[in-house]
Chains A and B, each alone.
Chain A
Amino acid sequence: MGKTRTLTGAFLAIATLTATGCSGGGTPSTETASAPADASSASGTITVLTQRTDLIKSGAMKAYAAEFNKIYPKIEVKFEGLTDYEGEVKIRMNTDKYGDVLMIPGAVAKNDYPKFFAPLGSSIEMADKYRFSDKSEVNGKTYGIAQFGTANGFVYNKALWKKAGVTAWPSTPEEFLSDLRAVKSKTGAIPYYTNFKDGWPLVQWSANIGSVTCSEEANNKLAGPVSPWKSGSELAVIDTLLFDIVKDGLSEKDPSTTNWEASKGKLAKGEIGSMMVGSWAISQMRDAAEKAGKNPDDIGYMPVPVQREEGQCATLVSDYQQAVNIHSEHKEAARAWIDWFTEKSGYSAKEGAVPTLKSAPMPDTLKEFVDNDVTFVERSESKTGTVNEIDNAAEIGLNTPDYRQKLIDIARGAQKGSVESYFAELDKKWDEAAKTVGS
Chain B
Amino acid sequence: MTETTEAVSVKTHRATPQRRGTSPTGGSPRTRRGRDRALRRATPWLFLLAPLALLITFTYVPVGNMIYYSFTDWDGISPDRNFTGVDNYVQIFTRPEIFRVFFVSFYYLGASVVQIAVALYFATVLSFDLRFRNLFKGLLFFPYLINGVAIGFVFLYFFQDGGTLDTVLSWFGQHPDHAWLGDPTSANTSLAGVSVWRYTGLNFVLFLGAIQSIPGELYEAAQLDGATRWEQFRYIIAPSIRPVLSLSVILAISGSLAVFEIPWIMTGGATGTSTFVIQTVKLAFQFNKTGLASAAAVVLLLIILLITWIQRRLVPDEKVDLV
Residues of A whose CB lies within 8 Å of any CB of B are: 2, 4-15, 18, 87, 90, 93-94, 105, 107-109, 112, 115, 196-197, 199, 253-257, 392-393, 395, 397, 400-402, 405-406, 409, 412-415
Contact = CB atoms under 8 A, between A and B. Distances in A.
Closest A-B pairs by Cβ, 6 of them: A9-B8, A256-B181, A254-B161, A414-B183, A254-B179, A9-B5
A397 B1 contact: no
B213 interface: no
Contact of B8 (A12, A253, A413, A414): A12
Given A90-B285, A405-B271, 6 more contacts: A7-B49, A10-B5, A15-B57, A109-B77, A255-B182, A402-B286
B288 A107 contact: yes
Interface string B155-179: 0110111010000000000000001
16 contacts: A8-B46, A13-B8, A18-B57, A107-B75, A107-B76, A107-B77, A107-B285, A109-B78, A199-B270, A256-B182, A395-B289, A400-B282, A400-B286, A401-B268, A406-B270, A409-B270
Interface of B: 1, 4-9, 12-13, 46-47, 49-50, 53, 57, 75-79, 156-157, 159-161, 163, 179-184, 187, 267-272, 282-283, 285-289
Contacts, number: 128
Contacts of A413: 183
Nearest to B269: A402
Nearest to A196: B270
Contacts of A15: 53, 57
A4 B285 CA distance: 41
Nearest to B274: A402
A13 B280 CA distance: 35
Contacts of B46: 4, 8
A415 B50 contact: no
B49 A414 contact: no
B20 to A, nearest CB: 14
A414 B9 CA distance: 66
A5 B285 contact: no
Given A6-B9, A93-B77, A257-B159, A11 B271 contact: no
Main secondary structure on chain A at its contact with chain B? helix
A117 B192 CA distance: 46
Residue from B50, B79, B287 having most chain A Cβ neighbours under 10 A: B287
B6 A256 contact: no
A257 B160 contact: yes
A13 B77 contact: no
A7 B12 contact: no
A90 B161 contact: no
B8 A257 contact: no
Residue from A109, A196, A395 having most chain B Cβ neighbours under 10 A: A395
Contacts of A392: 287-289
B136 to A, nearest CB: 32
Residue from A7, A393, A400 having most chain B Cβ neighbours under 10 A: A7
B6 to A, nearest CB: 7
B160 A254 contact: yes
Contact of A11 (B49, B76, B187, B267): B49
B184 A415 contact: yes
A257 B163 contact: yes
Contact of B78 (A12, A112, A393): A112
Contacts of A196: 270
A2 B163 CA distance: 61
Contacts of B288: 107, 109, 392
Contacts of A4: 46-47, 49
B163 A256 contact: no
A405 B271 CA distance: 7
Nearest to B78: A112
Contacts of A6: 5-6, 8-9
Contact of A414 (B78, B157, B184): B184
Contacts of B285: 87, 90, 107
Given A9-B4, A115-B79, A256-B179, A199 B268 contact: yes
B77 A94 contact: yes
Nearest to B160: A257
A259 B100 CA distance: 30
B5 A257 contact: no
Contacts of B57: 14-15, 18
B77 A395 contact: no
A397 B77 contact: no
B75 A13 contact: no
